[in-house]
Structure 1
Amino acid sequence: MTISTQSVNITRFSASRSQPQDDLLSVEEPLEISIRYGLNLEIKNLSVTMRTPGHDEELALGFLLSEGIITNYEQVIGAVQEDVNRVSVILHEDTPFDPTQFERHIYTTSSCGICAKSSIEAVRVESTLPEIIQHWTIEAPTLYRLPELLRERQADFASTGGLHAAALFTQKGELLSLREDVGRHNALDKLIGHALQTGTYPLRTQVLLLSGRASFELIQKAALAGISFVAAVGAPSTLAVQLAKEMKLVLIGFLRDTRFNVYSGVERIAS
């Protein structure tokens, strides 16, 4: 059984008194992601990422896609949970893979999706992007409702206050899927991995909502998954806005209550 939260003993101070009590925290543990490839199923360790346990196979698949190692689920035989903190993805023997191009020299923390890249050039993933449908629009009142719907379904966040979330919605504002993790990039990779496993990738007609800020690596992952509409509760970075404009993605920030800012793709928002 996967455990994503853990109770710890704390002392809580309030005004002039203190008292012992239990507090619920989000679990953070390392996950080693490796692949087996070629005729002899050679093993290549790709990364160790700090994550919240759960949906580990989805996380590994989403990571491989967002790193440009795979472009579709047909290239994969399957994902295997070797033990609680290790996942291997088995590639079909004809799936091209050069192990020397995917070197990570440090582990990936829960707060960073690209910290372990070995060069500036490696930050931008060179991969074939899915065709992105750009003609559909969303009404502003539909967007206003999304953060509340997200919070209602964030079970672990409600208990701990310590998890990021990524969720997919229909154009009418219906929640399709949601994943939580201590790492915002992990939450999105889990969503993408789920889409690969269920045959819903690429995600051309869905709206992605991020519970925090919108950083460059999250916009890049969204583009690789075919997502053309990204909304975030927090702020975007300058590089995220630049990439969204390059990829012709809608990028919304500060989506709270009945307001938001549009940084790219305003023509696809209907008032």
Structure 2
Amino acid sequence: MTTPTRPGPTTRARIREISGNVARDRRDDLATEEPMEIRLMGADGAHKTLAITMRTPGHDFELATGFLNGEGIGGIAAIAYCTDDDVEPEARYNVVTVHLRGRIPELPSLDRHFMTSSACGVCGSASLDALRDRCSPLPADPLRLTPQTLYGMPSALRKAQGVFGKTGGLHAAGLFTAEGELLAAREDVGRHNAVDKLVGWAAMQGRLPLRGHVLMVSGRASYEIMQKALAAGIPAVCAVSAPSSLAVDLAREFGMTLVGFLREERCNVYAGAERIVE
């Protein structure tokens, strides 16, 4: 029996490079994009598919853990790659089973078996009204950030993007302290997956909630990224690009700081400006 090959974060490809009037064939590294199915197994033996997401392989258990945290599902007993009979051997590293300590909770998201793309995340998976039912505004915290601390975050995150350096095709999320120290960074073709991996890392380290920390993302700040940060207890989110209108609404309602266009010693503060001090 052939042992299934575990996919890696990069894939080699033959390409033709054209520069001016000169063409040459060479190898190139591509960011790997493959599906990952997240299955839930209850303590009573019940099982259900929660989601299928397109992701870059690597830190898969963190991805599943972070995704569940964002959906309000806890009580994880164990996580493993699936070896069920309905999964072909070559696909087993693309199916993760999360074993829960209790029963599978009754949540609307569990009835959708939704497909999430690497580009947009779980589009429309929740609204502000639904979020109010399970999340409260963040408690007051002593987090204060100076502009100089913020200005150092994009370059620190970029230096931690090893796979991006090879492929140029990945988003990143980094977790920073109030002093600007990068604690951990994760990469993925999907910006929301990078955040899930980072939150999953923190959850598996017993660090949640992440009060007093800052989330930095390499792209734009969407509603879903803000929702995931809120579920993890992160009071401040910074993005290299723009936020969406719903992301700003969420930040203002739930007491979060939201910084956009953070680059080259400038930024816009869209919510929670009281945390930014000279």
Tell me, yes or no, whether TM beats 0.5. Answer: yes
Match of 1:161 in 2: 168
Question: How far apart are 1:209 and its partner, in Å?
Answer: 0.3
Identical-residue share of aligned pairs (%): 45
Alpha-carbon spacing, 1:36–1:129, altered in 2? closer, same or farther (3 Å): farther
Aligned to 1:102, the other structure's residue is in SS state: helix
Question: How far apart are 1:257 and its partner, in Å?
Answer: 1.3
Alpha-carbon spacing, 1:35–1:129, altered in 2? closer, same or farther (3 Å): farther
Q: Does 1:52 align with 2:60?
A: no
Match of 1:216 in 2: 223
Q: How do 1:1-271 residues align onto structure 2 when only pairs under 5 Å count?
A: 3-39=8-44, 41-70=45-74, 75-82=75-82, 83-93=92-102, 97-98=105-106, 102-115=110-123, 117=125, 124=131, 126-129=133-136, 131-271=138-278
Question: How far apart are 1:115 and its partner, in Å?
Answer: 2.9
Contact preservation (8 Å) 1:66, 1:125: no
Contact preservation (8 Å) 1:28, 1:51: yes
Question: How far apart are 1:169 and its partner, in Å?
Answer: 0.6
Paired amino acid for 2:73: I
Question: How far apart are 1:112 and its partner, in Å?
Answer: 2.0
Which sections of structure 2, spanning at least 5 residues, go unmatched? 1-5, 83-91
Contact preservation (8 Å) 2:50, 2:109: no
Question: How far apart are 1:123 and its partner, in Å?
Answer: 6.7
Alpha-carbon spacing, 1:268–1:106, altered in 2? closer, same or farther (3 Å): closer
Which sections of structure 1, spanning at least 5 residues, go unmatched? none
Contact preservation (8 Å) 2:215, 2:238: yes
Alpha-carbon spacing, 1:129–1:88, altered in 2? closer, same or farther (3 Å): farther
Counterpart-to-counterpart distance in 1, 2:166 and 2:256: 33
Counterpart-to-counterpart distance in 1, 2:145 and 2:209: 19
The number of equivalent residue pairs is: 264
Match of 2:85 in 1: none
Contact preservation (8 Å) 1:133, 1:228: no
Contact preservation (8 Å) 2:152, 2:180: yes
